[in-house]
Amino acid sequence: MHLKKLSLINYKNFDARNFEFDTKINCFVGKNGIGKTNILDAIYHLSFGKSYFNPVATQNIKHEQDFFVIDGEFEKNEREEKIICSLKRGNKKIIKRNGKPYERFSDHIGFLPLVIISPADRDLIVEGSDTRRKFIDGVISQSDKAYLQTLIKYNKVLLQRNSLLKYFAANRTFDVDTLEVYNEQLHTYGTDIFLKRKIFLEAFIPIFKEQYAAISGKSEEVSLHYDSRLLECDLSVLLKNTIEKDRALQYTSVGVHKDDLSFQIQGHPIKKFGSQGQQKSFLVALKLAQFNFIKKQAQTIPILLLDDIFDKLDENRVAHIVTLVDDANFGQIFISDTHAERTENVVKTIHQSYKIFKL
């Protein structure tokens, strides 16, 4: 699968711009703030129906303009696929595949598999557990539509249970039977989510470790663990045991919405003890493992977006990453970099066709 053409109208800092891409490697080079990342984000938009960087949809419309249009022509399984994503202020976003609008964006997710590696991934290390859960959920749901539906149902019941706990506190009342109804549903959906996360991580962790070893030249040991209270005990038991605590807190203190991943280097948290280059290597390994995983599940080679990937990495690590991606396992790759010369030197060593766009 590859993106053949991209046309942008009023997307972030672009008014009107067209690109024709190489089937393998495409590099965007230019000064800070010129719009390199914005082009990668537009490609991301075509795959996920939203920006990777700015969750406020209207802020992706060029300042002072009323709408944006991202138009992409892909080739997938020898068929042309035209995807258009557009947004007009005051209206709902529209995503069309070959002229037909999607009723539910979730039906589009996974159709054009894509992985992005960007400096914004640092949030996975420095931010709260929510970011890490979103990461696992994103990978699993790209290949398992039922997972996303279960997650939506779980979150809905969780909200209802929390509202009930607040209602009990406000009205100085308590009804364990009503709470039990929610416990049962949380147990059903939560256990399903937990088992899928566990199975996913059992397959994912060895791939991640392999990628890290390849990037770092095995210079340090890293690990990734699944932290979930459900590993020790059944969710229905946990919910029962925390009823008094939940009453006092007025929210549900146990369940898969509290799951986390722990990232370690040489046995210590990478957030506190990893250098910038080690943290970056960790994130690149995590994303390349995601790439491998999605590729296996989707049976299509995902598009890979590499945003500013060489920054903070030493020459050896850059060379290792280049060797990793210079492989038949990879398909179309988009790279953004401020150093035109560095990018040119890197892509010259790769045995693939390439195009460089100087912005």
Residues flagged as binding site = 30-37
**Residues in 43-82 that interact with ligand ATP by CB under 6 A:** 59-63
Asked if 37 touches ligand ATP (CB under 6 A), the answer is yes
Please count the residues of this chain forming the interface with ligand ATP, following the rule CB under 6 A.
18
CB of 40 to ligand ATP, least distance (A): 8
Q: Find the binder of ligand ATP among 6, 8, 12, 255 (CB under 6 A).
A: 12
CB of 340 to ligand ATP, least distance (A): 12
Asked if 36 touches ligand ATP (CB under 6 A), the answer is yes
CB of 338 to ligand ATP, least distance (A): 5
165-to-156, 180, 186, 246 alpha-carbon distances in Å: 14, 12, 15, 7
Which range, of 35-43, 141-149, 245-253, 311-319, touches ligand ATP by CB under 6 A?
35-43
Give the strand pairing for 67-76 and 94-97. unpaired
CB of 44 to ligand ATP, least distance (A): 12
Asked if 42 touches ligand ATP (CB under 6 A), the answer is no
Asked if 292 touches ligand ATP (CB under 6 A), the answer is no
Asked if 122 touches ligand ATP (CB under 6 A), the answer is no
Asked if 15 touches ligand ATP (CB under 6 A), the answer is no
Q: Which is nearer to ligand ATP, 172 or 358 (CB)?
A: 358
In the annotated binding site for ATP, the residues are 30-37
CB of 62 to ligand ATP, least distance (A): 4
**Interface with ligand ATP by CB under 6 A: which residues?**
12-13, 30, 32-38, 59-63, 308, 336, 338
